[in-house]
């Protein structure tokens, strides 16, 4: 049977819906379908009545004209096909692409993501997924919202990613085992994502975590810092930051130097910190260049009673 050519999305969906993808089926083998003219793959498989059992071999499809893969395989719980040959150079949207594709672990490491602007929920709930994505170009990505949330097998290093334009990280990663947040948002001028739900109970190091994150003012007041040891320059030059972090447990911290130095908007009363400090952490220039009302707060006296000042004068 000759190759079936699909000129639009509607006809392609009709062929997918009928369910017989074999060479003897009405459209011939799905492997050889010509879909080059179809640019919109939004919810392509997700909209099928048999989405949960779909596992058609689409590895050979010509996707050079595709601009969106939004929700393409969303809910395709049985899907696990090698997509390494797909041309994604024109794709802008990977929202929900493989969300809920619970057995998927196909190779997408070579996908061209240079035009992609959102990776929101791309692999959310893709429980088997654990492919190296370090080579993905994320220079235009603005959202990583729930990117690999619930992808319980995922354990890849994304440290080389360019996240300079990312503004949304809510639920992107499971941080319950993270011990170091050092330089995580360093130099991310545009970032102001919601990190309020992050589990930081194991974090010991926040060295320069928000250094020069000039747009960040997210509510992280409830973060668990009970194991935190190093706060060196955590918010230095974070010029918009003015969140009340007085409830943070700093009892184990040994390094606080320059923690808020040149965070020019900051003026919160952190005197509660003084009641939690039990040792003698380094405290040099903690509040230099801030909007703290107490000018002397650049020189915290741990020998005073009460300890301070901590941005404000600390009263007994």
Contacts of 224 (CB under 8 A, 6+ apart): 199, 200, 201, 203, 249
Same structural domain, 295 and 205: yes
- Across 146-160, 163-177, 207-221, which has the greatest mean pLDDT? 207-221
Per-residue pLDDT, 295: 64
User: Which comes out higher in pLDDT, residue 142 or 248?
Assistant: 248
For the cut 60, the answer to whether the pLDDT of residue 121 exceeds it is yes
Based on DSSP, count helices (H) and strands (E) in the chain, helices before strands.
2, 0
Among residues 113, 140, 174, the one where a domain terminates is 174
222-273 pLDDT per residue, tens? 999 999 999 999 999 999 999 999 999 999 999 999 999 999 999 999 999 9
Among residues 174, 201, 230, the one where a domain terminates is 174
Same structural domain, 157 and 194: no
Domain assignment of residue 97, yes or no:
yes
Same structural domain, 191 and 308: yes
Domain assignment of residue 257, yes or no:
yes
Domain assignment of residue 116, yes or no:
yes
Q: Residue 272's domain spans which residues? A: 178-316
Sign of torsion over alpha carbons 15, 17, 23, 29: positive
Per-residue pLDDT, 12: 98
Among residues 174, 191, 208, the one where a domain terminates is 174
- Give the C-alpha distances (Å, rounded to integers) separating 85 from 39, 58, 111: 17, 10, 8
Domain assignment of residue 299, yes or no:
yes
Mean pLDDT of 271-286: 96
CB 96 within 8 A of CB 47: no
Same structural domain, 51 and 97: yes
17-66 pLDDT per residue, tens? 999 999 999 999 999 999 999 999 999 999 999 999 999 999 999 999 99
Owner of token pair 């952490």: 281
Per-residue pLDDT, 150: 86
Q: Residue-wise over 175-189: b if at least 16 C-beta within 10 A, else e?
A: beebeebbbbbbebe
Domain assignment of residue 290, yes or no:
yes
Same structural domain, 59 and 193: no
Q: Is the pTM of this model over 0.85?
A: no
Q: How many domains would you assign to the chain?
A: 2
């Amino acid at each position: 049977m000759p190759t079936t050519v699909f000129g639009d999305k509607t006809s392609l969906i009709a062929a997918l819906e009928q369910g017989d993808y074999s060479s003897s089926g009405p459209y011939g083998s799905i492997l050889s379908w010509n879909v080059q003219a179809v640019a919109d793959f939004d919810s392509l498989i997700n909209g099928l009545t048999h989405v949960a059992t779909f596992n058609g071999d689409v590895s050979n499809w010509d996707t050079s004209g595709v601009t969106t893969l939004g929700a393409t395989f969303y809910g395709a719980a049985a899907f696990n096909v090698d997509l390494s040959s797909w041309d994604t150079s024109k794709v802008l949207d990977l929202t929900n692409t493989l969300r809920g594709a619970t057995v998927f672990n196909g190779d997408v490491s070579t996908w061209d993501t240079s035009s992609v602007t959102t990776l929101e929920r791309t692999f959310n709930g893709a429980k088997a997924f654990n492919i190296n994505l370090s080579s993905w170009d994320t220079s235009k990505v603005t959202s990583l919202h729930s990117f690999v949330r619930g992808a319980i097998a995922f354990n890849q290093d994304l440290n080389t990613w360019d996240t300079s334009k990312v503004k949304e990280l809510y639920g992107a990663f499971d941080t319950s085992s993270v011990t170091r947040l050092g330089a995580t948002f360093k130099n991310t001028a545009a970032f102001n994502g919601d990190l309020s739900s992050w589990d930081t109970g194991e974090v010991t190091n926040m060295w320069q975590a928000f250094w020069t994150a000039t747009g960040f003012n997210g509510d992280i007041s409830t973060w668990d810092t009970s194991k935190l040891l190093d706060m060196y320059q955590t918010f230095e030059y974070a010029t918009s930051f003015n969140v009340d972090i007085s409830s943070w447990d700093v009892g184990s911290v040994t390094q606080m130097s320059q923690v808020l130095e040149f965070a020019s908007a900051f003026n919160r009363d952190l005197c509660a910190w003084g009641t939690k400090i039990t040792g003698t952490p380094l405290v040099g220039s903690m509040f230099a260049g801030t909007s703290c009302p107490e000018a002397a707060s650049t020189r915290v006296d741990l020998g005073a009673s009460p300890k301070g000042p901590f941005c404000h004068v600390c009263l007994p």
